[in-house]
């Protein structure tokens, strides 16, 4: 009896220890739950990387803008991102992924489901087995990136209200429907077999097409084209910001393409990341090489556009091609963007090169799937056929071309109609005076770089400094100056009045022909280096008065503003020649439609 008890004791102890573990196994996460959590985490992290691309777009657009328009870029990015977040959650996600219909989804409005993929009613979420909230966020930031691309073509002259109206329509209708056709199981993917892994067409071509529609209606910036119709360079104020923006976008693309795998299990996202990086590197090298052959210089802006164009091009084939094809696709994109920018600039004023870097490169990237898609990855994605390089068939190139033409045509028609309606009602473009003054002060009521436009005493920079004198608004007609409708000028004809009328100023160190906001003939050549030519003799007081007006400009400048000095030591008086001015400076008025300050 005793021996039996001794033998039974250890068995009973093991059973008692096993009971809590069995209970925990019954109530704790299963293997499927762990897989779902890991994949959900990766998709969410990838979405955060894509969201960070908004900072890259901000730096890129601000750097390519003149300093008087820099601050508005921040307001635009924040506003559009926020509108897109609400519109896509309420309507867009349901249209894009709420069902497997041929045209659009049918459910998921104001998405409000739990974390269980099986009960979400979203087919693709159930297939991937990830949280619906994570997938919604990931697809929303794609929509926000596409919307950000639209505005690159309209820098420095578009009415801010147009941002708001188009952002709602784009986020709730245009982008969701087109993304459903390709990403959400719509007719282009299911019936035609179009391949677009992460959005060369869905994200980038759609955004560039909307930008093209806006650009055709809004026209070029003042001073972009000379009297002979030839384009003139309008340099951005900070190429370091442009470079920083490109690097942030490059980083964000590692969420963009690898995140489109829908999960981390299986390590496929690492392959997509390497393909992405190889293409981007090849794009930079090819763009720099082309610019060296053309101009014997290493163009910083083109190097950045080469990287972006290659990243755009590899977005569609990133999940369909092998490693060796990625540098080829990226290098071709780098060549395309250089010649695209040069040719498009002859007729259209695209300040950041969005039509080339996102439009032409997006088309090339989508078509490259029809050439380089490998049989292994075509079977893995279960969409379309291998490219002509492997199969010898033109079926897949034809499917890709049909998808590109369809997306471009539909988006262009709807976008053009939207912008036409905006132009016919509230106006698409700011006034001429607001454009010359800069959208910072006319749209937001403040400068992005106030130190460049507002004297230190007015900024409170000098403790105890007396307030500068204020002169009453002068309404008398001055030859060479134009009036606004109400007789009050937002700014003088030759630039902004940074210091109050009557404030003592030192001798102007440079000729007035090289001062003021805007461009002159010296900046018309892309390669003209300021300061290397012969200096003009200082202007006399009489000449200064004449040159201060519109009639005093050189005949070859037409109605364009004069050239800005690129030298140091010009002082804040450089933003406007002497000779008086009509009323308080813009920074004292507080922007468009605001009463003068105390």
**Has residue 493 been placed in a domain?**
no
**What is the spatial distance between Cα 185 and Cα 193, in angstroms, rounded to a whole number?**
10
**Has residue 561 been placed in a domain?**
no
**pLDDT value at position 127?**
87
- CATH assignment at residue 378: 1.10.3430.10
**pLDDT value at position 208?**
98
Helix and strand element counts for the chain (H, E): 24, 0
**Has residue 514 been placed in a domain?**
no
Domain boundaries, position 205: 47-429
**pLDDT value at position 588?**
55
**What is the spatial distance between Cα 153 and Cα 110, in angstroms, rounded to a whole number?**
32
Q: Where are the alpha helices (DSSP H) in 350-487?
A: 354, 361-372, 375-381, 388-391, 395-425, 432-437, 439, 456-459
Helix (H, G, I), strand (E, B) or coil at 173: helix
**Has residue 556 been placed in a domain?**
no
Place of tokens 């008025």: 589
**pLDDT value at position 544?**
46
Closest CA to 395 of 380, 384, 409: 384
**How high is the mean pLDDT in each 10-residue block of the chain (598 residues)?**
52 48 58 91 97 96 94 94 97 92 90 75 87 95 97 94 96 97 94 96 98 97 93 93 97 97 93 98 98 94 96 97 98 98 95 96 98 96 95 95 97 98 96 93 90 72 52 46 40 38 40 35 38 46 44 40 39 39 54 47
DSSP states along 294-339? HHSS--HHHHHHHHHHHHHHHHTGGGTS-TTHHHHHHHHHHHHHHH
As for how many domains the chain has, the answer is 1
In degrees rounded to 5, what are phi and psi of residue 231? -70, 145
Are 179 and 115 spatial neighbours (Cβ–Cβ below 8 Å)?
A: no
**Has residue 216 been placed in a domain?**
yes
**Has residue 176 been placed in a domain?**
yes
Q: Model pTM?
A: 0.77
**pLDDT value at position 585?**
57
**Has residue 21 been placed in a domain?**
no
**pLDDT value at position 528?**
39
Residues in the chain: 598
**Has residue 453 been placed in a domain?**
no
């Amino acid at each position: 009896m005793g021996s039996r008890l001794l033998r039974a004791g250890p068995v009973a102890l093991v059973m008692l220890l096993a009971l809590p573990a069995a209970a925990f196994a019954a109530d704790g996460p299963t293997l499927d739950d762990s897989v779902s959590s890991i994949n959900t985490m990766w998709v969410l992290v990838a979405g955060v990387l894509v969201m960070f691309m908004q900072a890259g777009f901000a730096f890129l657009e601000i750097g390519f803008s003149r300093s008087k328009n820099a601050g508005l870029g921040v307001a635009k990015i924040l506003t559009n991102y926020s509108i897109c977040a609400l519109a896509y959650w309420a309507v867009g996600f349901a249209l894009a992924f709420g069902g497997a219909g041929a045209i659009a989804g049918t459910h998921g409005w104001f998405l409000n489901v739990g974390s269980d993929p099986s009960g979400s009613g979203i087919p693709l979420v159930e297939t991937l087995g990830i949280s619906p909230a994570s997938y919604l966020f990931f697809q929303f930031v794609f929509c926000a990136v596409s919307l950000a691309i639209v505005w690159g073509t309209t820098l420095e002259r578009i009415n801010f209200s147009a941002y708001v109206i188009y952002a709602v329509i784009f986020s709730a209708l245009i982008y969701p429907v087109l993304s459903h056709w390709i990403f959400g199981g719509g007719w282009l993917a299911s019936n035609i077999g179009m391949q677009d892994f992460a959005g060369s067409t869905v994200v980038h071509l759609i955004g560039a097409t909307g930008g093209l529609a806006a650009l055709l209606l809004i026209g070029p910036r003042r001073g972009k084209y000379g009297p002979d119709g030839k384009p003139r360079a309008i340099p951005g104020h900070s190429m370091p910001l442009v470079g920083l923006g490109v690097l942030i976008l490059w980083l964000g693309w590692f969420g963009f393409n690898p995140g489109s795998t829908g999960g981390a299990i299986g390590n496929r996202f690492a392959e997509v990341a390497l393909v992405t990086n190889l293409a981007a590197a090849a794009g930079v090298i090819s763009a720099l090489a082309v610019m060296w052959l053309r101009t014997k210089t290493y163009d910083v802006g083109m190097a950045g556009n080469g990287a972006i164009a290659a990243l755009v091009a590899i977005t569609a084939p990133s999940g369909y091609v092998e490693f060796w094809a990625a540098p080829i696709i990226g290098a071709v994109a780098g060549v395309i963007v250089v010649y695209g920018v040069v040719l498009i600039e002859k007729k259209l004023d695209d300040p950041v090169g969005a039509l080339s870097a996102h439009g032409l490169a997006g088309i090339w990237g989508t078509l490259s799937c029809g050439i380089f898609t490998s049989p292994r990855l075509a079977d893995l994605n279960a969409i379309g056929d291998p490219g002509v390089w492997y199969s010898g068939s033109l079926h897949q190139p034809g499917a890709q071309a049909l998808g590109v033409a369809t997306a471009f045509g539909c988006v262009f028609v709807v976008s053009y109609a939207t912008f036409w309606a905006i132009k016919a009602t509230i106006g698409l473009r700011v006034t001429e005076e607001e454009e010359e003054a800069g959208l910072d002060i006319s749209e937001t009521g403040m400068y992005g770089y106030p130190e460049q436009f507002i004297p230190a005493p007015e900024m409170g920079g000098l403790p105890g400094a007396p307030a500068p004198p204020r002169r009453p608004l002068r309404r008398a007609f001055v030859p060479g100056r134009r009036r606004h409708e109400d007789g009050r000028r937002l700014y003088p004809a030759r630039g902004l009045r940074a210091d109050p009328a009557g404030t003592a100023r030192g001798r102007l160190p440079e000729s007035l022909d090289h001062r003021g906001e805007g461009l002159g003939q010296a900046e018309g050549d892309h390669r003209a280096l300021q300061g290397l030519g012969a200096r003009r003799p200082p202007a006399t007081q009489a000449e200064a008065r004449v040159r201060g007006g519109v009639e005093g400009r050189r005949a070859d400048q037409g109605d364009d503003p004069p050239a800005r000095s690129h030298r140091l030591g010009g002082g804040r008086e450089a933003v406007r020649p002497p000779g008086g001015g009509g009323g308080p400076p813009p920074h004292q008025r507080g922007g468009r439609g605001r009463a003068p300050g105390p």
